Amino acid sequence: MKTTRYFEEQVLRKRPYIQREWCEMALSNPIHREVQSDDRIRHWVFINEFLRVVTLEDGETVLNAFPDRDFKEVEK
């Protein structure tokens, strides 16, 4: 899994409970996926609660990850 320096140095330090495997799951099999206005991509996965993983424009490089308690699953 590719990550940014910010993810490695800030996100994992502030949120040590986040596991890399969860981010990989969000990228490979998201419940929902959405492109932001800055072309970064949000990916959601459910692991005890919804986890939002944000990637750069390439859809592979993880920038951020955090619990998203406000996410409401979108019906397909």
Domain region containing 12:
5-67
**Any domain includes 72:** no
pLDDT at 76: 54
**Any domain includes 56:** yes
Measure the CA–CA gap between 63 and 10, rounded to whole angstroms: 10
**Any domain includes 44:** yes
What is the chain's pLDDT, residue by residue, as a tens digit (76 residues)?
999 999 999 999 999 999 999 999 999 999 999 999 999 999 999 998 999 999 999 999 999 999 999 898 765 5
| Assessment of whether the complete model's pTM goes beyond 0.85 | yes
**Any domain includes 22:** yes
CA 10, 13, 15, 20: dihedral to nearest 10 degrees? 90
What's the pLDDT tens digit per position in 3-22? 999 999 999 999 999 999 99
pLDDT at 74: 67
- CA torsion sign for 4, 55, 24, 10 is positive
Query: Looking at the 3D structure of the chain, how many domains does it have?
Result: 1
